[in-house]
Amino acid sequence: GDSVTQMEGPVTLSEEAFLTINCTYTATGYPSLFWYVQYPGEGLQLLLKATKADDKGSNKGFEATYRKETTSFHLEKGSVQVSDSAVYFCALRATSNTGKLIFGQGTTLQVKP
């Protein structure tokens, strides 16, 4: 079945460092791909998405490119801030068309001043 695999956390970076969080997926068809972020005490918020191969999603300085050839959707940011500290979830929307999201295990990012 469809699945998502993320790099293990926690990831600890200094402010202004470059961030990469790896995400790979297994799916039939052409799923849509998402990154959600969860700040402490809050629900999941959509960070960015891409719906077809080679699309780049971007928001708040974060980017991810839908790579069908490597089945990947890695999250990147050029310069992280302390306020980016959160848990990041990669997800795909299954092609069953019921809207079901399949999530990776989440990666905790801690940014130190």
Partner 1 sequence: EPEVTQTPSHQVTQMGQEVILRCVPISNHLYFYWYRQILGQKVEFLVSFYNNEISEKSEIFDDQFSVERPDGSNFTLKIRSTKLEDSAMYFCASSWTSGEETQYFGPGTRLLVL
Residues that bind partner 1 in the complex, under the rule CB under 8 A: 32, 36, 41-46, 49, 51, 89, 91, 96-106
Nearer to partner 1, 97 or 113 (CB): 97
User: Which residue matches tokens 């999250």?
Assistant: 75
How far apart are CB 19 and partner 1 at their closest, in Å? 21
For residues 63, 65, 66, 71, the Cα torsion angle rounded to the nearest 10 degrees is: -100
Return the closest-CA partner of residue 109 out of 41, 5, 33, 14. Answer: 14
Nearer to partner 1, 43 or 113 (CB): 43
How far apart are CB 29 and partner 1 at their closest, in Å? 14
How far apart are CB 95 and partner 1 at their closest, in Å? 11
Nearer to partner 1, 25 or 89 (CB): 89
How far apart are CB 90 and partner 1 at their closest, in Å? 10
- Per-residue CA distances from 74 to 7, 68, 97, 107 (Å): 10, 12, 24, 12
Contact status, residue 105 vs residue 23, Cβ threshold 8 Å: no
